[in-house]
Amino acid sequence: MVRIGVEERRRRLGRRHRLGAGCQAADPVEAAASMVALHATDPATVHLSVAARVPGSDVASTERALYEDRSLIRMLGMRRTVFVVPTPFAPVVQAACTDDIAVKQRKLLVKHLAESGIADGIESCGQWLAAVEESTATALALRGSATAQELSADEPRLRTRLNMAVGKAYAAQPYVTSRVLFQLAAEGRIVRGRPLGTWLSGQHQWSPAADWLPGGLGDKPTAEDARVTLARAWLASFGPGTAADLQWWAGWTLGQTRKALTAVEAVEVELDGQVGYVLPGDEAPEAPVDPWVAFLPGLDPTPMGWKEREWFLGPHKSKLFDTTGNIGPSIWSDGRIIGAWGQPESGEVRYQLLEDVGADTTALVESEAARWTTWLAGVRVTPRFRSPLEKQLSQS
């Protein structure tokens, strides 16, 4: 069994994630494809992840790919998380991950409707939900694009309230609006379009998928074939990794993960005492990469690509991750995390190194901080999921 050590994994990360000097992507689509998908739960992450990988990119170029060329699409994917993926790859993600999520979420929503007394019994609640979905889809088709608020005006049943966690301190009565739109999106019937307001906004216009893209998401492969394709893409970008890494990243069962790895004919390699996997023919060492530094945003797909992160994270988890496992803004050097960054109200980029990296690397960090201050041009990005060190650096 070939052994792939930590230094080799770090070289691969620098080159394949388009972070190393001379390895960067040409445009937002290439940047997204190199990562399989870009995290989009926090809308700022998409733009910052692209800017870290595409020299000279700006918000306008990423928005053009998303909303004009539509060569990128925002969709629900792995682990019930919103991602931005190259549009031709969307049917793979839909079949490999999203379809299963849609089935589970429909059952959960019908259960919540029944518990809230929306209709008499599970079957009636399922019928009620189906009727509201069809009415909402029709209203959206008539408008062409619409906000959640506009659709609620067209279909008043979207303002029905759920009774969640009755009797608990965290009890709530949310409108069913977001859950219905989530379900329609998870089934590939509607898509998220332009945000309302700036590129930092998490609220979007909705459009019918068939209007947004000719033919909607297109022909889907079978779920099994899609999982094989997704596993192959993950190994190309993130390999070597363990079965646990892939299972966590994709949100699959262990059985689905093992079956996909077998179908890909993944090659077993040794990762410091663990069994990892690479694509056939990908066992050879990566070409060297010149020294590099990168500032990555919170929830960037690089640190969120593996379940087991010690080989690039070291002892810094408590300062860089929130309590639910989401990473904040991080600073990387040659394939490992060395610090974090944040912005106070004044907008400049501040950073803190967590280890002694020497004068040369420190100079690269200072230069990169200045570049990001210029790129952000006074716009303050507050991550949706905040790490302890980012909070500290963002204090005025």
* Residues 243-290 pLDDT 10s: 999 999 999 999 999 999 999 999 999 998 899 999 999 999 999 999
pLDDT at 133 over 80: yes
Alpha-carbon distances, residue 16 vs 9, 36, 79, 235 (angstroms): 10, 11, 23, 11
Mean residue pLDDT across the chain? 96
pLDDT of residue 396: 67
| pLDDT for residue 328 | 97
366 Cβ neighbours under 8 A, 6+ residues apart: none
pLDDT for the residue numbered 170: 81
pLDDT at 21 over 90: no
The tokens for 211 are 């209007």
Dihedral sign computed on CA atoms, order 135, 139, 144, 150: negative
Helix runs in 76-212, H state only: 90-93, 99-115, 122-143, 148-154, 177-186, 209-212
Nearest CA-CA partner of 161 in 211, 228, 102, 115: 115
Please state which of the ranges 101-105, 169-173, 180-184, 351-355 shows the lowest mean pLDDT: 169-173
From residue 287, alpha-carbon distances to 11, 13, 15, 22, 237 in Å are: 8, 11, 9, 12, 15
| Lowest model confidence (mean pLDDT) among 50-54, 218-222, 266-270 | 218-222
User: Using only C-alpha atoms, what is the Rg of the chain?
Assistant: 22
> Which pLDDT does position 282 carry in this prediction?
97
Share of the chain above pLDDT 70, in %: 100
For 180-190, letters b (16+ CB in 10 Å) and e give bbbbbbbbbbb
**Span 190-218, mean pLDDT?**
94
Structure tokens at 215: 């033919």
Q: Is 215's pLDDT higher than 90?
A: no
pLDDT at 334 over 70: yes
pLDDT tens digit sequence for 377-389: 999 999 999 999 9
Percent of the chain predicted with pLDDT > 90: 94
Beta bridge partners of 281: none
Stated pTM of the model: 0.95
